[in-house]
A and B are shown apart, each in its own frame.
Chain A
Amino acid sequence: MVKKVFGKPKYLKDAPFHYCPGCGHSIIHRLMAEVLEELDIGDITIGVPPAGCAVLAYDYFDVDMGEAPHGRGAAVATGIKRTLPDRIVFSYQGDGDIAAIGTAETIHAANRGENITVIFVNNGCYGMTGGQMAPTTLLGQASTTTPGGRNAARDAAPIDLSEMLAITHGSAYIERTAVTSPKTIRQTKRAITKAFKTQIANKGFSLVEILSPCPVNWKMSPVDAVKWIDNTMIKTFPLKVIKAEVGKL
């Protein structure tokens, strides 16, 4: 008698990930697919991938997926959810997508209390375009457009989008997590579960910001990248539940 203890989640396609070694997207995709299966919502879920490395998320998630223009994930998801309010709608966005070019769409979707779930992957840089400064790049952190390190006077300080979203009236659940260790990965899965449960319970806008390594653009080994998040990045972006006005889920 063989007992299956580990396998591919139901809502991931049978396709190898294209992401770079040490990248967090693969872990996050898997966690989301597990949650969709555990909450039994995959069959009614529609996902909105972004412009960026994760645009190809539709090659991996085995749910309906509709690609949004750069930064417009929250607006496209709004259109889908308002048309089909009994479906589950998520958008999956990177830091440049959500916190620079798509800031307005995101803040207003949150403020309207759109009943959607946003997975915000923060790797502190524009990954797909080759590591330029993102709105979340840390002060002093080098990027291809801040070769001498990000300078507050010239480049501004990193933006705390999740904290900003928390003060909008319509946001219900916002948590910042990471995917750097079994412990933080388990915590991320719990946060994703809560975010989707928030949507299932019609409580309003939910978002999980996930600090995720980008070893290639950070020019670090995957191990060093994970350590850098745990030791440095969390000082600017502390891991915590930022808002949870959801009652009992």
Chain B
Amino acid sequence: MRYMALIYGNEAASINMSEAQGQAMLGEYNAFSEMATARGALLGGEALLPTHSATSLRVREGKTLTTDGPFAETKEQLGGFYLLKCDNLDEAIEMASQIPGAKQGTIELRPIVEWD
């Protein structure tokens, strides 16, 4: 099965990180990616810029309405994701529990719809 691991966290804390802290976090994420790749589980993943760079839009009656900011203001924001290939939920949980962001924020695991 494929799972999307959505990484939620307090982005203000990440923005206010020192240079050294930021480097350390990057190192942890690289280590996770290497581990997941070695296990053949990593299908993809990216980090996102903070929500102040977000644009939301909707099309109504043919008109595109755009607004500044994220879809919803929440305490924890979506900061990145991994696309993982795992046999089952237990394996996905085990894998996702090693994502560095799990220690401060929350990882939401969503199964991918398989069209077949």
- The answer to whether A and B belong to the same complex is no
Question: Which residues of A come within 8 Å of B, CB atoms?
Answer: none
- Residues in chain B within 8 A of chain A (CB atoms): none
